[in-house]
């Protein structure tokens, strides 16, 4: 019964919205807004063919490589910079500046340095996504509790064991917050690097549809991007809940007190 | 978890008793930071000069900075900055107003929260840049295109924080307010709003950064007027130092916005005993 | 009848080779931006193997600083700490520390069992031996029923038990405790005090117990080392001649307990007023 109720709550509004959409497009031929049926048809025709292989998968592949590389490099560099005080002070202003640069402006810069290639698009994603992970890791490492650190020290936990059992989990909540920002920036950069400088990929295809006024196809492309965003968000939340189960529990206990 | 660092037992008491040496200020942190900036500039200067990267792709730092100062004297530059900041400000304002109104309404009703949850979770991760083609179709290169992207992206940042803030309201405080006969409006004014304010400010700070990213993106990709378009034009026109100077300018604007937002946040929340840590959303 | 008082600046020392823990002329000065702060001036005392000594002093008397020097977390400015004859330069293998802030000394991302097990795992101990030690330690502190909980799911007293179990499982020769019960409620505190006596007797470990609670120091220790206020020297090194079998009701009701408590209280009051043992004053002005 409870599950059923939750289901009803989850579905009610989307169903109502689709119904409104369907009703308002019924009988009219608004150029910009296709009917649900037309959109569904366009979606199936456009994306369930070779486009998956030629445009969708390569885009997602670049996104994955870029994001994973940014996370790995960001955490590794963050661990290093975060644990050395002078290095932290030394790099902080420069890193803050790099974080403040809106990542899309890296596209023209990297286009110039690397030409329009796949690796340039990956580098765009890496160089735009790395900052939230890097800076959050530094902050997380810096903020390790001094008593916890002393405890580990007195029990002879040092070196790699210290990183694995103390530093990484302790900075975990901060790191995950950075990863979340990193994912959404990554998706944005994937799309606009293809819109700006490409002859294939999702972003390029969608802009092509818009330029040729293939409106239902354009909408279907927007839906694809939305689905990728939603899928990434779900994967992230699922992972985050597993990794940070202790953290959410701790917060609940603290908030209840 | 966030307890302050332990001051070693005895230091406080000892400080008053044992003789102090004349206080020597050691601003090593700032000096190191400055050294970091200089080192970065030095590397940037040397990389093209030594020829690791050709100077026509990456001009030396001195050249770019000179260009930037040159820009500071140009009306066209300030016009572009003005266009970008106008889009940023209007977009942010609209997003915040919309998010605050909707956030407080939806947040204070558990029915509305439950029924909108799935839709919010679905709409929020949609990348705002997916709307670029639509914006182009509807508004072309006008500022409305930028606004559409900015509002969509910034809205969620603020909205989610407001939802968290309203949900964080202390039950005891709420019941106390009720028992003293505070009406619905008074309760929102004196209980809900102060609780949600720190969350709201966090949301606005995050949204301000996102809004700048989207403003520049819209100008870069769609070509609505502003710094982003200038960057694209400089790049395609081969004005390489000019392009790097503009990139530096966007970074400086980003830093200024961050500083401004932190300042506003501190000012508005100075009454608050603990400035809350950010919620991971 | 008053206990014997011998106002000297050093605590009891033992002939070379007989002490488990030796603190020799330890001095600690913090260099800060606001100038130098002398937290500990000159401390000397010995603990013999299997002894339970309490270190008590007014708040701000550098107790924690001293403990950090002994545990190797801080390097003393002058003097040295010897553990079983070897100079302490970093946290030694034979030593375990229980901190006051139980909420911050246990790893919140590990379950109770994993917390107790981690130091052993890190030391490269085999699985079977590890399991045995962890089980024993948890049983000794009365926590064998919650091994799969996270620390933050437990009450403060239980969390401190986990920290004690972790120390016990580590099989240290010296156990340092830094005001471990300052943040738990009175009832739990009495239970934990008895737990410490039990564990100490069972394991024959040397315990140095830092506290600001006079009753606690007299009840627990075989010996109470009273510190002066900062910059810290030893105000008095007092033998506690209470019967070895102690319990909360009867021991605390003994006239001798009251006398000892009274005496320690007086010494601490004198320390707060700035009285220093004669020898320390000389040492202080000489430096």
Segment A174-195, tens digit of pLDDT: 999 999 989 989 999 999 888 8
Whether A170 contacts A148, CB under 8 Å? yes
Say if residue B43 is in the same domain as residue B144.
no
B146-200, pLDDT tens digit by residue? 999 999 999 999 999 998 888 877 777 778 888 887 877 888 788 888 888 888 9
Q: How close is the nearest chain C Cα to the Cα of A90, in Å? A: 20
Asked if C95 is an interface residue toward chain A (Cβ–Cβ < 8 A), one would say: yes
Q: How many C-beta atoms surround the C-beta of residue A209 within 10 A? A: 21
Q: Is residue B14 part of a domain?
A: no
Separation between Cα atoms, residue B217 and residue B230, nearest integer Å: 12
C211-224, pLDDT tens digit by residue? 988 999 999 999 99
Say if residue B199 is in the same domain as residue B238.
yes
Residue C36 scores a pLDDT above 50: yes
pLDDT tier at A154, thresholds 50, 70, 90: very high
For residue C281, what pLDDT is reported? 46
Residue B2 scores a pLDDT above 50: no
Whether B166 contacts B107, CB under 8 Å? yes
Asked if C75 is an interface residue toward chain A (Cβ–Cβ < 8 A), one would say: no
Residues A5-24: what's their mean pLDDT?
83
B52-85, pLDDT tens digit by residue? 888 888 899 999 999 999 999 898 899 999 999 9
pLDDT tier at A75, thresholds 50, 70, 90: very high
Residue A127 scores a pLDDT above 70: yes
Domain annotation for chain C: domains and CATH numbers? 19-94+172-286 (3.40.50.300)
B189-227, pLDDT tens digit by residue? 888 888 888 889 889 998 999 999 999 999 998 888 899
pLDDT tier at C278, thresholds 50, 70, 90: low
A232-257, pLDDT tens digit by residue? 999 999 999 999 999 988 888 877 76
Residues B244-250: what's their mean pLDDT?
93
Q: Is residue B16 part of a domain?
A: no
Within 8 A by CB and 6+ apart from B156, the residues are B99, B123, B124
**In chain C, which residue ranges form alpha helices assigned H by DSSP?**
63-70, 102-105, 112-122, 127-140, 156-169, 186-203, 214-220, 248-253, 255-272, 278-286
Q: Which domain holds residue B37?
A: 23-58
CA quadruple C216, C217, C218, C221: dihedral sign: positive
Residue B252 scores a pLDDT above 90: yes
pLDDT tier at C130, thresholds 50, 70, 90: very high
Domain annotation for chain A: domains and CATH numbers? 55-205 (1.10.3720.10)
Say if residue B123 is in the same domain as residue B225.
yes
Give the closest of C107, C119, C170 to A148, CB-based. Answer: C107
Say if residue B155 is in the same domain as residue B43.
no
Residue window 197-226, chain A: list those with CB within 8 Å of chain B: 203, 206-207, 209-210, 215, 218-219, 221-222, 225-226
Q: Is residue B141 part of a domain?
A: yes
Mean pLDDT across chain A:
88
User: What letter would DSSP give residue A101?
Assistant: S
Residues B229-238: what's their mean pLDDT?
89
* Chain C residues near residue A170 by CB distance under 8 angstroms: 109
Say if residue B141 is in the same domain as residue B247.
yes
Say if residue B32 is in the same domain as residue B107.
no
ipTM of the complex: 0.85
Least confident of A56-70, B10-24, B94-108, C144-158: B10-24
Say if residue B196 is in the same domain as residue B261.
yes
Residue C283 scores a pLDDT above 50: no
More confident residue, B236 or A166: A166
Q: Is residue B132 part of a domain?
A: yes
Separation between Cα atoms, residue C31 and residue C37, nearest integer Å: 6
pLDDT tier at B35, thresholds 50, 70, 90: very high
Overall size of chain C counted in residues: 287
Name the closest residue on chain B to residue A248, using Cα atoms: B280
For residue B248, what pLDDT is reported? 93
Q: Do C122 and A147 touch (CB under 8 A)?
A: no
Residues A196-206: what's their mean pLDDT?
81
Query: Would you give the distance in Å from CA B183 to the centre of its chain?
Result: 36
Residue C115 scores a pLDDT above 90: yes
Within 8 A by CB and 6+ apart from C23, the residues are C11, C43, C44, C45, C46, C66, C70, C79, C81
Say if residue B136 is in the same domain as residue B48.
no
Q: Do A192 and B213 touch (CB under 8 A)?
A: no
Say if residue B194 is in the same domain as residue B241.
yes
Separation between Cα atoms, residue A101 and residue A95, nearest integer Å: 10
Q: Do B28 and A225 touch (CB under 8 A)?
A: no
Mean pLDDT across chain B:
82
Say if residue B66 is in the same domain as residue B53.
no
Q: Do C65 and B8 touch (CB under 8 A)?
A: yes
For residue B37, what pLDDT is reported? 93
Give the closest of C33, C37, C74 to B23, CB-based. Answer: C33
Whether A169 contacts C107, CB under 8 Å? yes
Say if residue B197 is in the same domain as residue B84.
yes
Residues A23-35: what's their mean pLDDT?
76
Q: Is residue B278 part of a domain?
A: no
**Residue B70 maps to which CATH number?**
1.10.3720.10
Q: Do B132 and A13 touch (CB under 8 A)?
A: no
For residue A236, what pLDDT is reported? 93
Say if residue B53 is in the same domain as residue B102.
no
Separation between Cα atoms, residue C196 and residue C193, nearest integer Å: 5
The number of folded domains in chain B is 2
Separation between Cα atoms, residue C65 and residue C76, nearest integer Å: 9
Separation between Cα atoms, residue C287 and residue C278, nearest integer Å: 15
C43-88, pLDDT tens digit by residue? 889 998 999 999 998 877 788 888 899 999 988 998 899 998 889 9
Residue B44 scores a pLDDT above 70: yes
pLDDT tier at B18, thresholds 50, 70, 90: very low
CA quadruple A224, A227, A233, A237: dihedral sign: negative
Q: Do B8 and C68 touch (CB under 8 A)?
A: yes
Q: Do A156 and C118 touch (CB under 8 A)?
A: no
Q: Is residue B229 part of a domain?
A: yes
Q: Is residue B233 part of a domain?
A: yes
For residue B19, what pLDDT is reported? 39
Residue B7 scores a pLDDT above 90: no
Integer Rg of chain A from CA: 23
Name the closest residue on chain B to residue A150, using Cα atoms: B6
Residue B1 scores a pLDDT above 50: no
């Amino acid at each position: 019964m409870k599950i059923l109720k939750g289901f009803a709550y989850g579905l009610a509004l989307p169903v109502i919205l689709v119904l409104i959409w369907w009703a308002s497009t019924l009988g009219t031929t608004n150029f910009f807004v296709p009917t649900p049926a037309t959109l569904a048809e366009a979606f199936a025709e456009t994306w369930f063919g070779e486009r998956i292989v030629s445009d969708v998968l390569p885009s997602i592949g670049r996104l994955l490589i870029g994001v994973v590389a940014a996370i790995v490099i960001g955490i590794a560099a963050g661990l290093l910079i975060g644990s050395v005080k002078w290095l932290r002070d030394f790099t902080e202003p420069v890193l803050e500046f790099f974080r403040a640069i809106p990542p899309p402006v890296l596209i023209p810069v990297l286009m110039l340095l690397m030409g329009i290639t796949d690796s340039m698009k990956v580098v765009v994603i890496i160089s735009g996504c790395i900052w939230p992970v890097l800076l959050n890791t530094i902050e997380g490492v810096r903020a390790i509790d001094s008593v916890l650190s002393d405890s580990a020290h007195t029990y002879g936990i040092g070196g790699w064991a210290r990183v694995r059992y103390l530093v990484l989990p302790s900075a975990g909540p901060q790191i995950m917050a950075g990863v979340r920002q990193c994912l959404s920036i990554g998706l944005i950069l994937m799309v606009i690097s293809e819109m700006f400088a490409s002859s294939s990929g999702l972003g390029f295809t969608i802009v092509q549809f818009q330029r040729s006024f293939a409106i239902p196809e354009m909408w279907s492309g927007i839906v694809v991007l939305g689905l990728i965003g939603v899928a990434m968000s779900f994967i992230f939340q699922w992972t985050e809940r597993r990794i940070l189960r202790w953290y959410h529990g701790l917060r609940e206990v603290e908030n209840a007190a | 978890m966030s307890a302050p660092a332990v001051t070693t037992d005895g230091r406080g008491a000892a400080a008053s008793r044992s003789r102090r040496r004349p206080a020597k200020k050691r601003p090593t942190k700032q000096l190191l930071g400055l050294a970091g900036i200089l080192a970065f500039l030095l590397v940037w200067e040397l990389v093209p000069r030594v020829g690791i990267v050709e100077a026509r792709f990456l001009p030396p730092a001195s050249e770019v900075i000179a260009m930037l100062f040159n820009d500071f004297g140009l009306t066209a530059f300030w016009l572009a900055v003005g266009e970008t900041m106008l889009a940023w400000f209007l977009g942010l304002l609209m997003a915040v107003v919309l998010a605050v109104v909707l956030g407080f309404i939806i947040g204070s009703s558990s029915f509305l929260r439950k029924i909108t949850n799935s839709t919010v979770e679905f709409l929020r991760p949609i990348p705002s840049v997916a709307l670029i083609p639509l914006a182009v179709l509807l508004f072309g290169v006008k500022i409305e295109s930028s606004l559409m992207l900015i509002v969509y992206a910034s809205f969620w940042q603020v909205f989610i924080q407001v939802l968290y803030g309203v949900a964080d309201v202390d039950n005891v405080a709420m019941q106390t307010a009720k028992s003293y006969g505070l009406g619905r409006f008074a309760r929102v004014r004196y209980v809900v709003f102060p609780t949600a304010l720190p969350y709201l400010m966090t949301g606005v700070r995050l949204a301000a950064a996102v809004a700048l990213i989207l403003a520049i993106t819209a100008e870069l990709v769609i070509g609505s007027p502003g710094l982003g378009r200038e960057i694209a034009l400089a790049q395609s026109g081969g004005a390489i130092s000019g392009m790097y100077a503009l990139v530096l300018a966007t970074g400086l604007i980003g830093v200024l916005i961050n500083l401004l937002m932190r300042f506003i946040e501190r000012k508005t929340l100075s009454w608050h005993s603990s400035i809350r840590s950010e919620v991971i959303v | 009848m008053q206990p014997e008082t011998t106002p000297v600046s050093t605590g009891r020392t033992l002939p070379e080779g007989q002490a488990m823990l030796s603190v020799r002329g330890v001095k600690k000065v913090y260099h800060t931006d606001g100038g130098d702060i002398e937290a500990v001036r000159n401390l000397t005392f010995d603990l013999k193997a299997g002894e339970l000594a309490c270190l008590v002093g007014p708040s701000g008397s550098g107790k924690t600083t001293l403990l950090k020097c002994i545990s190797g977390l801080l390097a003393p400015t002058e003097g040295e700490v010897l553990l079983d004859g070897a100079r302490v330069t970093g946290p030694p293998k034979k030593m375990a520390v229980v901190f006051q802030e139980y909420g911050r000394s246990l790893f919140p991302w590990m379950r109770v069992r994993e917390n107790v097990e981690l130091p052993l795992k890190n030391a490269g101990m085999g699985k079977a031996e590890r399991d045995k030690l962890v089980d024993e330690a948890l049983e000794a502190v009365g926590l064998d029923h919650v091994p799969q909980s996270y620390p933050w799911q437990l009450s403060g007293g239980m969390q401190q038990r986990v920290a004690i179990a972790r120390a016990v499982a580590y099989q240290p020769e010296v156990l340092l405790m830094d005001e471990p019960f300052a943040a738990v409620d009175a009832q739990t505190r009495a239970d934990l005090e008895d737990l410490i006596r039990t564990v100490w007797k069972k394991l024959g470990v040397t315990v140095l117990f830092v506290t600001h609670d006079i009753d606690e120091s007299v009840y627990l220790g075989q010996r109470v080392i009273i510190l002066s206020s900062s910059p810290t020297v030893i105000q008095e090194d007092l033998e506690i001649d209470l019967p070895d079998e102690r319990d909360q009701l009867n021991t605390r009701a003994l006239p001798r307990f009251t006398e000892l408590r009274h005496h320690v209280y007086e010494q601490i009051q004198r320390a707060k007023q700035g009285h220093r043992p004669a020898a320390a004053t000389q040492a202080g002005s000489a430096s």
